[in-house]
Structure formats: structure tokens, C-alpha cells
């Protein structure tokens, strides 16, 4: 069985709970310490081979998340992973500390690589270290493909205390309005996702699986059982669906049918494997 999740921000579980219940775990939109309105519209654009988004981490903030969102999500009957964002190590640590006290939260995913907002000044490893000090919950680091040596980033966050990796986040792209020659998105560039991202994701997962012995949630262009099996072949232990959910919300059920799988348990029940030498490949 290949555990299936959603990529953060690609499914509103409160609007479509029947879709969320198809998953082995539901990943929330990124939550920040304070509410955020997000970027100005237009902030979504289709392209020939995928989609651009520039949402800008729109969310109600951690207080409202606890007051209204999390209690409703807990009724889904699947483990809840909370995506955490911020603009400093203090932001990440503060949200992780709040989530640590909640029995409804199974896993925390640190969004270390959103291309649509200003980044925290600290390195990914420093942000993971701050989160690690603030929580005992499983901590996954979501990394960007926009780096020459993502394996080195994986080693750094592993050394800082990450329990797993989410690979990959979107990569920056731009679409033009051909009638005006101007960018379609208000902020010009946005995060690119969809089928064209798959080869990049496979390369990143292969590199990271060869560098660290951590469970990996693979994502980027997954739309079929064959895609999911490809991700597992290069080292992923679970697969997340993103853009494909916008095209077909029943993608999880279809992939399960194609695999001949039935859900046997949530991905959060898997334990990270024992540590090994960083130079020992897994594939």
C-alpha cells in the first residue's frame, strides 16, 4: 500500500470532507502566527503543463485555527498534519509550541520554501532546530527544489532534528498574458506545480533518499498509480496529491483502485527508520 496525502493548500477539507476522508492523512494550509490576507488577485493561473499560484499564505492565524478550524478538522477521522509557516525562527517555534499541546495534531510540516512570500532570514536547518525545541511531535521539513544541492539541505535539516522530508514544494515560474505581454499574476511570479514538476521532484527525492535515512512524502505532478509507483521507486515512503486534486477531486480513490489498494492505516503510524551513514544510498 502507498499512503496518500494531499499537498498543503490543495484541498479544503471542510468544503470537501468526503475527499479528505479518501486520504491517509490530511495536510492543512500553512498556518502562521498572525492572520494573513495573502497576495492580491489574480493569484492563480493555468499554463500548458500545470498551474501557477501566488496565494501568499492566506490563513486565519494560529488563534483562529485552534478556535474554529482544528475542531472541525478533527471530525474527519483521519490524522491531521499541520503545515507551519512564518518569517522568523521565533514564528516557527511559537506555532510549533502551540500545536505540541494538541492531541488533534498528528504531525507538523514546516513550510520552509514558499516561493510567494518573503523568506525567514534563518536557514532551513535553523528553522527546523527552532521547531524541534518547541515540539515532540513528528516534524517534516518541506524543501524547495530551487537549490543546486538539495541533498545537502536534507542532511542539514536531518541533523537539526527533522523526522521526515516533504519533497518538493513548488518552483517559481511566470505566465504571460499574450494580449498585453504582462504577467498574468499580480505579483508576476508564482509557485509552479503540475505534471511538468514530476521529473524535478523525482530527481530531488532520489538525491535526498541517497543522502539521509528519513521517510519522504513525495509530491509534484502525481496524477496516477504509475506516478505514485515512480515516486516510491526513487525513495518516497508516501505520496501527496496537489494540482491533480483541482482537476479531479476523486484522484485518491482512482489511484487506490488502479493500485488495487485498500487503506490499512494512516501514514503517521510509520516510524522513521534507524539512522545510517549519510553516504549509504537507499536505491
All three cell numbers of 195: 505534471
Dist CA 251 CA 88 (whole Å): 36
Nearest to 80 by CA among 159, 5, 144: 5
Q: What distance in Å separates the CA atoms of residue 12 and residue 25, rounded to the nearest whole number? A: 13
Q: Give the separation between CA 205 and CA 210, rounded to whole angstroms.
A: 8
> Rounded to whole angstroms, what are the CA distances from 158 to 4, 17, 152, 216, 268?
23, 33, 10, 12, 18
- Per DSSP, which regions of the chain are E strands? 4-6, 26-27, 44-47, 50-53, 80-84, 105-111, 139-142, 164-167, 171-174, 176-177, 182-183, 189-193, 216-219, 238-241
Exposure of 281 in the CB half-sphere (CA atoms within 13 A): 7
Q: How far apart are CA 15 and CA 213, in angstroms?
A: 36
Q: Which of 123, 96, 119 is nearest to 108 (CA)?
A: 96
* Residues known to be catalytic: 114
- Count Cα neighbours of 209 within 13 Å in the Cβ-side half-sphere: 22
Count how many Cα atoms sit within 13 Å of the Cα of residue 131 in the half-sphere of its side chain.
Answer: 36
Amino acid at each position: 500500500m502507498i499512503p496518500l496525502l494531499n499537498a498543503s493548500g490543495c484541498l479544503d477539507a471542510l468544503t470537501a470532507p468526503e475527499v479528505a476522508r479518501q486520504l491517509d492523512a490530511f495536510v492543512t494550509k500553512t498556518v502562521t502566527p498572525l492572520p494573513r490576507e495573502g497576495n492580491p488577485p489574480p493569484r492563480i493561473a493555468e499554463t500548458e503543463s500545470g498551474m501557477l499560484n501566488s496565494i501568499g499564505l492566506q490563513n486565519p492565524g494560529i488563534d483562529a485555527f485552534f478556535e474554529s478550524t482544528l475542531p472541525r478538522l478533527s471530525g474527519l477521522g483521519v490524522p491531521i498534519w499541520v503545515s507551519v509557516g512564518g518569517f522568523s525562527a521565533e514564528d516557527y517555534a511559537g506555532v510549533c509550541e502551540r500545536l505540541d499541546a494538541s492531541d488533534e495534531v498528528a504531525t507538523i510540516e514546516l513550510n520552509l520554501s514558499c516561493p510567494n512570500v518573503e523568506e525567514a532570514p534563518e536557514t532551513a536547518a535553523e528553522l527546523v532546530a527552532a521547531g524541534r525545541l518547541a515540539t515532540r511531535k513528528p516534524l517534516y521539513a518541506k524543501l524547495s527544489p530551487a537549490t543546486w544541492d538539495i541533498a545537502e539541505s536534507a542532511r542539514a535539516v536531518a541533523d537539526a532534528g527533522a523526522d521526515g522530508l516533504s519533497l518538493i514544494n513548488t518552483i517559481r515560474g511566470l505566465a504571460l498574458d499574450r494580449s498585453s505581454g504582462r504577467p498574468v499574476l499580480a505579483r508576476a511570479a508564482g509557485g509552479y506545480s503540475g505534471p511538468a514538476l514530476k521529473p524535478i521532484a523525482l530527481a530531488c527525492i532520489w538525491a535526498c533518499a541517497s543522502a539521509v535515512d528519513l521517510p519522504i512524502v513525495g509530491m509534484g505532478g502525481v496524477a496516477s498509480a504509475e506516478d505514485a509507483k515512480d515516486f516510491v521507486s526513487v525513495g518516497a515512503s508516501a505520496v501527496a496529491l496537489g494540482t491533480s486534486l483541482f482537476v479531479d477531486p476523486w484522484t485518491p480513490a482512482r489511484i487506490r483502485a488502479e493500485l488495487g489498494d485498500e487503506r490499512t492505516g494512516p501514514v503517521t503510524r510509520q516510524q522513521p527508520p534507524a539512522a545510517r551513514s549519510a553516504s549509504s544510498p537507499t536505491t
